[in-house]
Amino acid sequence: MKQYDVIIIGAGAAGLSATGELVTRGKRVLALDMGNTPARKVAVSGGGKCNITNMAADVTRYFGENPNFVRGALSRIGPTDILQWCNRHKIKLYEKEPGRYFCTDGAGVVVDALIHDAMGADIKYNHAVESVTRHDDQFIVAANGTKFCANSVIVATGGTSFGTLGVSDVGYKIAKSFGHKIIPVRPALCAMATSMFGPDLAGISVPVEITVAREKIQDNLLFTHFGIGGPAVYRASVRDISNGITINLCPGADMFGALKNAKQKNGKRNISSILSEYLPVRIAKYFSNNDVRNIADWRDSEIRAIADRINKTQIQSSDIKLYNMQSAEIVRGGISTEHISSKTMESKLCPGLFFAGEVLDISGDLGGFNLHWAWASGRIAGRYA
């Protein structure tokens, strides 16, 4: 059995970040990945342009049972550190929105840079890990019928979303075998199936405000044939939606006030034509149900009902189905951070065992926050393993 200082399970964003740190420290490193190429999620992230980091990365943009767990990592590996890394590798960046960085030449340059940093490590692809055990302060990792030995192990297997890229729950199984609790996983950064809106609206995108608990999210919503999607919905999906969500389809206007004013001043107009001043025509016709009555003939209670549907559509959690693990960008849930050091990413239950990236119960907001967590947690695990 070949002896290594550290074995890393997973050659994705977190795993390769850890590998680079360990190589710099002169460690003997083996990285095992079940796929045939490295960093597959990185390669498709940001529509192939890799949303590599976000200057707004702080604890408020992360979710899980204990989002405060990210504080230490973010304080030591911030967005400027990632920008400096890009500069060293001559990776050209642009801001799609202020502070949200993408790669001008595509995500491939990021994968190339990660592999460059990992030179000197053994990286084995198509190696599905079967088990990790510990004997006499040594870890034995079994993969593809072969056993490898190391002083430390870093589990960076990612989540179980986006199955077409090749994913596995082995990280959860390893953690559980050493006594760690697993928070049940669900899709996140994904669309929602709901019966609240009909398929007539599919394909329309509008700026909205979605309220989840006490938080208000302002972004674009896309109506789909099965419900709703788009950035606003993706962002809502990573939060706790157990009490449902409220959608304001026209956050810049008090629709009841606008319709009441029109009733008094332009009583011969129909509601659909009035709504179309604020919303796309198809949405206006949908909410007015193509009613051609003059607005003067509408009761205030009827006007209120339509205004409330536009300004505060409430969707109960029972009418929301997150859509779905195959298409979700990430999962919410994973290995509980309760027994993991936020300073080192090391298990408090098993010295020498480390965790990094999406395999942990840490989920980031849409906009580069999950990749930033992978870089930060991976580097820190690599510094201490």
Residue 110: pLDDT band (50, 70, 90) is: very high
Element (H, E) at 5: strand 3-9
Q: What percent of the chain has pLDDT over 90?
A: 94
DSSP string across 296-343: GGS-HHHHHHHHHHHH-EEE-GGG-EEE-TTT-SEEEEEE-STTB-TT
pLDDT (tens digit per residue) in 51-90: 999 999 999 999 999 999 999 999 999 999 999 999 999 9
What is the average pLDDT across 146-161? 96
- Average pLDDT of the chain to the nearest whole number: 96
Burial of 293 (0-12, 13-18, 19+ CB in 10 A): exposed
- CATH architecture, range 3-187+328-384: 3-Layer(bba) Sandwich (3.50)
pLDDT given for residue 112 in this prediction: 98
Measured CA angle at 41 (ends 16, 111), to 5 deg: 45
DSSP string across 79-101: HHHHHHHHHHTT--EEEEETTEE
pLDDT (tens digit per residue) in 179-230: 999 999 999 999 999 999 989 999 999 999 999 999 999 999 999 999 999 9
Write out the E strands in 156-256: 182-188, 191-193, 205-212, 215-223, 227-229, 245-248
Measured CA angle at 142 (ends 37, 8), to 5 deg: 50
pLDDT (tens digit per residue) in 27-53: 999 999 999 999 999 999 999 999 999
pLDDT given for residue 163 in this prediction: 74
3-state DSSP call for residue 210?
strand
State whether the Cα torsion 87-88-92-97 is positive or negative: negative
Q: Would you list the domain boundaries of the chain?
A: 3-187+328-384, 191-323
pLDDT given for residue 166 in this prediction: 75
What is the average pLDDT across 140-153? 97
pLDDT given for residue 1 in this prediction: 84
pLDDT given for residue 157 in this prediction: 97
Instruction: Note whether 3-187+328-384 and 191-323 share their fold.
Output: no
Question: Considering just the CA atoms, what is the radius of gyration of the chain in Å?
Answer: 24
pLDDT given for residue 170 in this prediction: 96
Q: Are 362 and 334 in contact (CB under 8 A)?
A: yes
Inform me whether the pLDDT recorded for 164 exceeds 80.
no
Neighbours of 178 (CB within 10 A): 16
Neighbours of 93 (CB within 10 A): 17
Cα separation, 163 vs 183, whole angstroms: 19
pLDDT given for residue 165 in this prediction: 80
Phi, psi of 176, deg, nearest 5: -65, -35
pLDDT given for residue 105 in this prediction: 98
**In sequence order, what are the beta bridge partners of 10?**
none
Q: What percent of the chain has pLDDT over 70?
A: 100
3-state DSSP call for residue 346?
strand
Element (H, E) at 234: helix 231-237
Q: Which residues contact 160 (CB under 8 A, 6 or more apart)?
A: 167, 168, 169, 185, 325, 331
pLDDT given for residue 372 in this prediction: 98
- Which range (151-160, 220-229, 287-296) has the least confidence? 287-296
Inform me whether the pLDDT recorded for 299 exceeds 80.
yes
Q: What's the CATH code, domain 191-323? A: 1.10.8.260
Note the pTM of the prediction, 2 decimals. 0.95
What is the average pLDDT across 103-131? 97
Which of 209, 168, 159 shows the shortest CA–CA distance to 189? 159
